[in-house]
Amino acid sequence: MPRSSALTITDATKRFGDFTAVDSLSLDVAAGTCLGLLGPNGAGKTTLMRMITGQTKLTAGSIEVLGLDVARESRAARSELGVCPQQDNMDEQQTVRENLSLWAALCRVPRARRKDSVARALSTAQLVERADERVANLSGGMRRRLLLGRAFINSPRLVLLDEPTVGLDPQVRSDLWLMIDSMRRSGVTVVMSTHYIEEAERLADDIAIVNHGRIIARGTPKQLRELHAGLEAVEYFGPQTALDEIAAKATAAGLKSRRAGLSISVLGVESADQHLLESWGRHSRRPTNLEDVFVLLTGESLDA
């Protein structure tokens, strides 16, 4: 195994009865990088995260965290991990400081270092002034910051962030992105699941698109866009019949297109005949994005 892998997943499978949540999935994450697992709700991202922490057992395959086999050395693996769960699972009746120092103890941070770790986490989470407030009294954004700060308390080498900004308003989300970004810069390996395109594009060095428990594409955001959707797209609005026509014309012209509600996007138009595009109607031009890639690859929408 190359020393530079922080996480190696080989043919990992998880079945719950007849349902296959994770389907023979393989993944290798280089140390010091940030991988975004992009996929809709129910794609198997949370199950995969739980398999990495040993909280969901593998039906088949193997997972190695920093060279430790999760099936046999789960405890040792967890001591190198930091986890920010999708579902807030903090003790509400405890204060912010109590939560953090309890977490430091649970993560086996040596007693002498705990105070410093807590102080550091308080300042990264920007909760120094709220340290003695009960968690129940914090806003949603503050709770998320605390949850994120908590995930880093044991100076982990690999951090799992499961939908770190789900359900938060845009301002809070961009605050959290700053926080994640600065942690990422400290050199820790991050595996982050998300179904927000912008989140994946901003934070991840590398993206794995997950659908139905499988990875269907992998690469940098730029690589994925260029390979699957081209550089630019044009978007047409109009009644369904007009959109149907444009779709047919695009196909005839050898261009890929995708529908989204009242619009259609024709993709990879950077080298297409501009007059032809004009002739189809009024449109606006935009760069392609990962959503285009996702829809092209799966035929499904991310928000489904």
Residues forming contacts to other proteins in the complex (CB under 8 A) are 16, 50, 53-57, 75-76, 78-79, 81, 83, 85, 87-94, 98, 101-103, 105-108
How many Å apart are CA 28 and CA 63, to the nearest integer?
10
CB of 14 vs other proteins, minimal distance in Å = 9
CB of 274 vs other proteins, minimal distance in Å = 53
Q: Which long-range contacts (CB under 8 A, 24 or more apart) does 241-246 make?
A: 242/281, 246/280, 246/281
**Cβ proximity to other proteins, 134 vs 212, nearer residue:** 134
Q: Strands 158-162 and 189-194: what pairing? A: parallel
**Cβ proximity to other proteins, 112 vs 252, nearer residue:** 112
Q: Strands 283-287 and 232-237: what pairing? A: antiparallel
Alpha helices of 128-194 — where are they, by DSSP H?
140-151, 170-185
> Residues 44, 12: contact at Cβ < 8 Å?
no
CB of 94 vs other proteins, minimal distance in Å = 5
Quote the tokens at residue 114. 């705990």
**Cβ proximity to other proteins, 115 vs 286, nearer residue:** 115
**Cβ proximity to other proteins, 71 vs 216, nearer residue:** 71
Q: Other C-beta atoms within 10 Å of 271: how many?
A: 8
**Cβ proximity to other proteins, 79 vs 263, nearer residue:** 79
144: which DSSP letter?
H
CB of 199 vs other proteins, minimal distance in Å = 21
CB of 120 vs other proteins, minimal distance in Å = 18
